[in-house]
Structure 1
Amino acid sequence: MPPDTSDLKTRFRIEGMDCASCASKIDTALRRLPGIGEVIVSIPGASLSVGHDGTVSDNQVMQQVRRLGYGITPFNDPSSSRDLDAEVPAVAPVSRNQASHDAERQWWRTRKALLMMSCGIAIVAAFSIGRLIPEAGNWAFLLATLIGLVPVSQRAYVAATLGSPFSIEMLMTIAAIGAVLIGATEEAAVVVLLFLVGEMLEGVAAGGARASIAGLADLVPKTAQLQRGNAISEVPADSLSVGDVIVVRPGDRIPADGEIVEGSSEINEAPVTGESVPRRKTEGETVFAGTISIDGVLRVTVTAAAEDNTIARVVRLVEEAQESKAPTERFIDRFSRYYTPGVLILGALVATVPPLVAGADWADWIYKGLAILLIGCPCALVISTPAAVAAGLASGARRGLLMKGGAVLEGFSAITAVAFDKTGTLTEGRPVVTDIRSFGSSYQRSLSLAAALEQGSNHPLALAILRKADAEKAPIPPASEARAVSGTGVEGRVGGVPVFLGSVAAARDRASMTDDQIAAADAFNAEGKTVSVLVADKKVAALFAMRDEPRTDAMSGLAALKEQGIRTLMLTGDNARTAAAIADTLGIETQADLLPQDKQRIVDGLRAEGLKVAKVGDGINDAPVLAAADIGIAMGGGTDVALETADAAILHGRVMDVAQMISLSHAVMRNIKQNIGTALGLKALFLVTTVAGVTGLWPAILADTGATVLVTANAMRLLTWKGGVGS
């Protein structure tokens, strides 16, 4: 049995790769190495992932890539370039230091820009020589052509020897040499210059998406204020360990994910979540790396190392997601394998058939055939989808909308139904005190007595009462002899008075309840609320009603989905009464008392009806149904995002973000259609005008280069996507 060539995976960073043609050449060259299985090249992420059986070394992989003229370093090499717009010389191997040096250069100092400028200066000189010494003009233009064409033809030759004979460089070389042979040296030189201009512009445009992704990592400050004992010292942020305590001053960016242990501050989360309104956070609450403390000093316990914090995970996910091709992209890739040879055949037919059949002028029709080669270059078409997908993934990630690749991003546009879990998804996931009904005791005193009994307890209902007391600034007196009464509540003495807090049934064993009190408890229960009865000195003092309330944006988020024509429903294992109360509040259909297999059955049924279903849950308890849905979405917060289970994750727990994901997907699909239309439309237009004799070689190369730049620039518009249903 042959070895599994995908057992081991190695990732690399690629420098100098700007377009789909680059990716195709690298893919083809590496697949020629024995032991190589899966090869995934990401243009926007400038990365390479290789699956192999262990018989091929990293050096062999890097040598093969360097033969093509690209820089390459191991993905986790700290000395590898972080600026992925580096340019490298054609064919010659590139050292890591050289790549890093190039990466620090501005675009006009890169090798491609310098080659373009050299060719441009040579053409200007050739025009001048042609005016002063006409008989030397052709030779001057030939020299200008060679200055730009020799490096291009070298790349074409190496690509051909490594399995890519139909590269854009080969089409360019054939067209330029053919133009020289028929005496069109001026046009040959201009065509080569325009090709080099296009390559440079592609690099600049591609750098936009990369810079956006790399910019995420720059949100985290480089240093942190580490507290040890009473001493505070400045340390590198990437040296922080879980459990360290850091001090965050007003105006500082928070250098790590953590939990506030002291202090309170307004936190600006816009850099990470896109949320424009700062949130006040206090002790016990989570903060994310890259967010900003506005008005308070915080002491924060680090809960994730630098490589695992929110920003690092988002960057890692986006980089990996860009290696996963969307269905449209895979189709375009397959199409281009036949398209490029077809263009060569068409060009040959245009160049030879009219002269052979109709006795037309050979030079005229060879010229037109060469122009068709340039028109047919597939770069704009092939880049149309990955550029838009990459920009969409990066834009979504900046808002905490994480998707595992282009297939998932594209799949959101087909969603017609969304099934939500209840607890922790549509609701906050923790009960809150919604009502306090006092009988013969003041509101404030009832709250103080209940909080006194619950001090030190971690029970969710106890924590709800303590949070309510803190919010209402109710004094919490000490309790003595406090103890839990198994299955019923808690009791003790507060100020010498015996106090009990627990279920209605247990309270009725300790005090008589009036009809009004029983009716009030029943009314709360009918609303899906849990009722605790406070008994003080053998008399009912108050009723506490608690419920896991809907998230603040749940109603607007569901409304946004309905505006998009998407059916919504709630699937929950909670009891029918509680589920109905929440569903009535939110205006959503519901099914309750469900086991995980019941939820899976319902989702399967929806799909059988022809619906495309997204399931939103916690990604852990709902693993079977998340897998059964067309797209599984984990509703998470901070480091608890269950990306292993789901296809996508909502990092910051907003219901509205489900609608935003779908809206982003529609925006990306519109962009892809625009890009494909632009690429094919320009090619069709110039094909007709070239055959008709209206346009020639240099407009033909403009059709390809111009389309590539237009398509890339259009895709980059997605980086400015601000969200909003229907945007």
Structure 2
Amino acid sequence: MADPRIAAVEDLATIETPPVPSTRLLVSGMDCGSCAGKIVNAVRRLPGVEDVEVSVGTGTVTVRHRDDVTPAMLAGTVTALGFGIEAPKGGTSETDATGRPMGAEGAHAAEGNSTWWRGGRSLLTIACGGALAAAFLVSQAAPRIGPYAFLAAMAVGLVPIARRAFAAARFGTPFSIEMLMTVAAVGAVCIGAAEEAATVVFLFLVGELLEGVAAGRARASIRGLTDLVPRIALVERDGRIDEIPAEDLPVGATVMVRPGDRIPGDGVVIEGDGEVDEAPVTGESVPKRKTVDDIVFAGTINGLSVLRVRVTASARDNTIARVVRLVEEAQNAKASTERFIERFSRLYTPVVVAVAAMVATMPPLLLGDPWGAWVYKGLAILLIGCPCALVISTPAAIAAGLSAGARRGLLIKGGAVLETLGTVTMVAFDKTGTLTEGRPLVTDVVPFGRSERDVLSLAAALEAGSNHPLARAVLAKASGAGVPVPPAAQARALAGKGVAARVGGTDLFLGSPQAAAERVELSQDQASRVGALTDEGKTVSVLIADGALAGLVAMRDEPRPDAVAGIAALRALGVDVVMLTGDNRRTAGVIARTLGMTPRAELLPEDKLGIVHEMQAAGAVVAKVGDGINDAPALAAADVGIAMGGGTDVALETAGAAVLHGRVADVARMIDLSRRTMGTIRANVAIALGLKGVLLGTTVLGITGLWPAILADTGATVLVTANALRLLRTRI
């Protein structure tokens, strides 16, 4: 009799847990980690909120909550902190701040905000600047009422800042930049420095505006990817062509792509022959020729011919959508450096506030010095404590690095992976489909008593209709050479041996050297030619015509065109390389010698895993590059797993990074990008802390005051952001 407790558990297992409601907000004005922290602290305090995820890089806040929490409640909390909520473009996957459905595009593309000078920040900065200029004129014309004019000018900018400061404090962030600014400005007024207080408020608003513009540029680099996909697709249905939204393209649909049009979805060419410009997606400047059975990507530009494409991925899963989605996720995966900076900044600001309080009070209390001078210095130190430049120094560089890579087909899944890539000392490559094309190509046609063209023509006639990889290689070679393929009669496959048929009255056989030796005796010279080709790691097919040897067709999975240059680039970076493959030793050895690397052959998946562990035990930081299911264990075990473009979903999901366009040289570019990014982070931290250190010393010595302090903080924030944005323009 079955145990009723087990039955009860089985019954429970069949009950589906209802999905937790999720709302995704598009937030404007969220430009750094401090902004994100304020939003997280505020939203998490709402009853019914279960989880909050903030992506500064994409300007999104995703909230998981109970049914009684409405999108309007979430939006109200965010706007109370001084941020804006943007309206999304259509979609169907989640709800936006108004409760409407919000899809993949809506998650990262927002309407409006295209003209930054019309935004609320800009208008507030302009108003404050105008009021400050007016106050200066009033002070020149009527000096007695000048202080009141500056007080009014300060209020124009400070009232909104103070409102945000107290909202942040109420929601759990007391040491916000707005609170420090408010205390400093009010304190300056109290000691009779109204003119400086108004100037400091204006400079603070200018700094916020510049920071927002810079952050918006970085965010636009990823949002701009979605604009590569055309809005309309031309779908062929029942002999007619219909226009439908590209986001509604179903898998399996046939689309017509006219000359000059962007391809609306990932797919395979089923008719047509022409060049496609892949530069918008891959960064490759030279157009690629595409013909039947070739893969094309959404967003690439068709050349001068009409192509018909069968769609192989929905709009949510095409190349661009996957890149955007994974980069958004990656920007939330923090590097260890970024986590350290965040922890440091949380401690740094309260410490600086305490130091400012001591500087303002201790000399007057203990030494009897005048209060005004030391309170002034304390207020300046308070402004120096603003953590914005320090907090944004790392995530700005990482976001720019991830974006720069994504636009060139280098997908890196997070700051931690980006950071580790720069420390890699050993790259272990799979062979087939990674270092090589992953499909055999005809390398040699050796005729005996006939022309090379005849041998290729007869071999293609035998292989016509077959879908075997070797047959496709022969047919592709014949097509490329413009060789006619005559019809074959009585065609038959001979299991394990080859194919036979009658072509133009001639009996033909094409098969392995062993099977051919059963039909005809090879001369010493002919056998030597077969042996030489085999020693080069090539698969040799022997063509027999009417009982006589007619020729040889040799095929091999050739290295990718840039493989030699890619391996050389890695060595130039000081990175060692090794080949790990399940292929036979002879073939692996030939390819490895061509590329100038060491092979480890005839390996099972567990063998590759063991070798990765061996290299790590020897002190190497290992990157494993592969494209198949058999690579998944080693990809997961390596310090960084890199999936080669066109690989299996298992490889892409297991790996921490992906080379989407199958270029070996991109592995070196990825490592170089990481090193550049980490160099930028070090420079940014030095700028942020260096300026603060200098200003701290000069303030205590009485050399600088309030407005240089806020100007330096603003300047540092703009400098580190601009320095990070240089990565977007770097050629990799």
Could you tell me the TM-score, scaled by structure 1's length? 0.93
Match among 561, 570, 577 for residue 568 of structure 1: 577
Q: Which residue of 2 aligns with 1:713?
A: 722
Task: Give yes or no for the alignment of 1:65 onto 2:78.
Answer: yes
Partners of 1:19 and 1:156 in 2: CA distance: 16
Q: Which residue of 2 aligns with 1:89?
A: none
Q: Specify the SS of the correspondent of 1:193.
A: helix
CA contact (8 A) 1:600 1:624 kept: yes
Task: Give yes or no for the alignment of 1:500 onto 2:509.
Answer: yes
Match among 554, 557, 560 for residue 548 of structure 1: 557
Q: Which residue of 1 aligns with 2:220?
A: 211
Q: Which residue of 1 aligns with 2:342?
A: 333
Q: Which residue of 2 aligns with 1:258?
A: 267
Partners of 1:310 and 1:556 in 2: CA distance: 26
Q: Specify the SS of the correspondent of 2:445.
A: strand
Counterpart AA for 2:720: V
Match among 16, 32, 48 for residue 45 of structure 2: 32
Q: Specify the SS of the correspondent of 1:440.
A: coil
Partners of 1:712 and 1:384 in 2: CA distance: 7
Match among 537, 541, 548 for residue 539 of structure 1: 548
Q: 1:496 to 1:261 in 2, by over 3 A?
A: same
Partners of 1:389 and 1:353 in 2: CA distance: 42
CA contact (8 A) 1:635 1:641 kept: no
Displacement of 1:320 in angstroms is 1.5
The number of equivalent residue pairs is: 706
Which stretch shifts more, 633-642 or 620-629? 633-642
Question: Once the two structures are superposed, what CA deviation does each residue of 1:666-685 show, in whole Å capped at 9, x if it has no partner?
Answer: 11111111111111111111
Partners of 1:395 and 1:634 in 2: CA distance: 18
Q: Which residue of 1 aligns with 2:603?
A: 594
Partners of 2:533 and 2:114 in 1: CA distance: 68
Q: How does 1:213-292 map to 2 (within 5 A)?
A: 213-292=222-301
Q: How does 1:692-703 map to 2 (within 5 A)?
A: 692-703=701-712
Match among 22, 25, 34 for residue 12 of structure 1: 25
How much is the aligned-residue C-alpha RMSD, in angstroms? 2.5
Displacement of 1:227 in angstroms is 2.4
Displacement of 1:42 in angstroms is 1.8
Task: Give yes or no for the alignment of 1:137 onto 2:146.
Answer: yes
Partners of 1:32 and 1:73 in 2: CA distance: 23
Displacement of 1:32 in angstroms is 2.7
Match among 515, 521, 538 for residue 530 of structure 2: 521
Question: Once the two structures are superposed, what CA deviation does each residue of 1:566-590 show, in whole Å capped at 9, x if it has no partner?
Answer: 0100000000011001001111101
Q: 1:102 to 1:311 in 2, by over 3 A?
A: closer
Q: 1:619 to 1:343 in 2, by over 3 A?
A: farther
CA contact (8 A) 1:421 1:571 kept: yes
Displacement of 1:36 in angstroms is 4.7
Counterpart AA for 1:137: G
Task: Give yes or no for the alignment of 1:42 onto 2:51.
Answer: no
Partners of 1:368 and 1:490 in 2: CA distance: 92
Displacement of 1:321 in angstroms is 1.1
Question: Once the two structures are superposed, what CA deviation does each residue of 1:255-276 show, in whole Å capped at 9, x if it has no partner?
Answer: 2111111111111111110111
Partners of 1:175 and 1:57 in 2: CA distance: 37
Displacement of 1:441 in angstroms is 2.0
Displacement of 1:103 in angstroms is 2.9
CA contact (8 A) 2:80 2:164 kept: no
Displacement of 1:448 in angstroms is 1.0
Task: Give yes or no for the alignment of 1:183 onto 2:192.
Answer: yes
Question: Once the two structures are superposed, what CA deviation does each residue of 1:528-561 show, in whole Å capped at 9, x if it has no partner?
Answer: 1111111111111111111100000000000000
Q: Which residue of 2 aligns with 1:309?
A: 318
Q: 1:279 to 1:640 in 2, by over 3 A?
A: farther
Partners of 2:199 and 2:272 in 1: CA distance: 66
Q: Which residue of 2 aligns with 1:631?
A: 640
Q: Which residue of 2 aligns with 1:401?
A: 410
Q: Which residue of 2 aligns with 1:386?
A: 395
Partners of 1:609 and 1:206 in 2: CA distance: 42
Partners of 1:57 and 1:615 in 2: CA distance: 46
Partners of 1:200 and 1:245 in 2: CA distance: 47
Partners of 2:324 and 2:569 in 1: CA distance: 28
Question: Once the two structures are superposed, what CA deviation does each residue of 1:123-180 show, in whole Å capped at 9, x if it has no partner?
Answer: 1111122122222111111111111111111111011011100000000010000001
Which stretch shifts more, 291-300 or 444-453? 291-300
Q: How does 1:446-461 map to 2 (within 5 A)?
A: 446-461=455-470
Which stretch shifts more, 173-182 or 495-504? 495-504
Q: How does 1:669-688 map to 2 (within 5 A)?
A: 669-688=678-697
Partners of 2:87 and 2:133 in 1: CA distance: 42
Counterpart AA for 2:500: E
Q: Which residue of 2 aligns with 1:90?
A: none
Partners of 1:542 and 1:187 in 2: CA distance: 92
* Identity score, percent: 61
Partners of 1:387 and 1:173 in 2: CA distance: 26
Partners of 2:336 and 2:41 in 1: CA distance: 20
Q: Specify the SS of the correspondent of 1:166.
A: coil
Task: Give yes or no for the alignment of 1:607 onto 2:620.
Answer: no
Displacement of 1:73 in angstroms is 6.8
Question: Once the two structures are superposed, what CA deviation does each residue of 1:647-699 show, in whole Å capped at 9, x if it has no partner?
Answer: 11110000000000001001111111111111111111111111111111001
Q: 1:57 to 1:672 in 2, by over 3 A?
A: same
Q: 1:619 to 1:145 in 2, by over 3 A?
A: farther
CA contact (8 A) 1:619 1:646 kept: no
Q: 1:102 to 1:541 in 2, by over 3 A?
A: closer
Partners of 2:33 and 2:718 in 1: CA distance: 13
Which stretch shifts more, 640-649 or 337-346? 640-649
Question: Once the two structures are superposed, what CA deviation does each residue of 1:326-381 show, in whole Å capped at 9, x if it has no partner?
Answer: 11111111111111100100100111111122221110000000000111100000
Q: Which residue of 1 aligns with 2:667?
A: 658
Task: Give yes or no for the alignment of 1:559 onto 2:568.
Answer: yes
Displacement of 1:30 in angstroms is 2.7
Partners of 1:308 and 1:80 in 2: CA distance: 13
Displacement of 1:74 in angstroms is 9.4
Q: 1:645 to 1:580 in 2, by over 3 A?
A: same
CA contact (8 A) 2:592 2:599 kept: yes
Partners of 2:85 and 2:119 in 1: CA distance: 17
Task: Give yes or no for the alignment of 1:436 onto 2:445.
Answer: yes
Displacement of 1:60 in angstroms is 4.7
Q: 1:416 to 1:37 in 2, by over 3 A?
A: farther
Partners of 2:256 and 2:632 in 1: CA distance: 38
Q: 1:646 to 1:162 in 2, by over 3 A?
A: same
Q: Specify the SS of the correspondent of 1:644.
A: helix
Counterpart AA for 1:598: D
Task: Give yes or no for the alignment of 1:170 onto 2:179.
Answer: yes
Q: Which residue of 1 aligns with 2:360?
A: 351
Partners of 2:369 and 2:550 in 1: CA distance: 106
Partners of 1:567 and 1:401 in 2: CA distance: 21
Which stretch shifts more, 13-22 or 495-504? 13-22
Q: 1:566 to 1:51 in 2, by over 3 A?
A: farther
Displacement of 1:61 in angstroms is 3.8
Question: Once the two structures are superposed, what CA deviation does each residue of 1:275-306 show, in whole Å capped at 9, x if it has no partner?
Answer: 11111111111111111122222111122222
Partners of 1:411 and 1:556 in 2: CA distance: 23
Displacement of 1:34 in angstroms is 5.0
Counterpart AA for 2:245: P
Q: 1:163 to 1:70 in 2, by over 3 A?
A: same
Partners of 2:126 and 2:459 in 1: CA distance: 79
Displacement of 1:619 in angstroms is 4.8
Displacement of 1:614 in angstroms is 0.3
Which stretch shifts more, 641-650 or 347-356? 641-650
Partners of 1:178 and 1:644 in 2: CA distance: 55
Could you tell me the TM-score, scaled by structure 2's length? 0.92
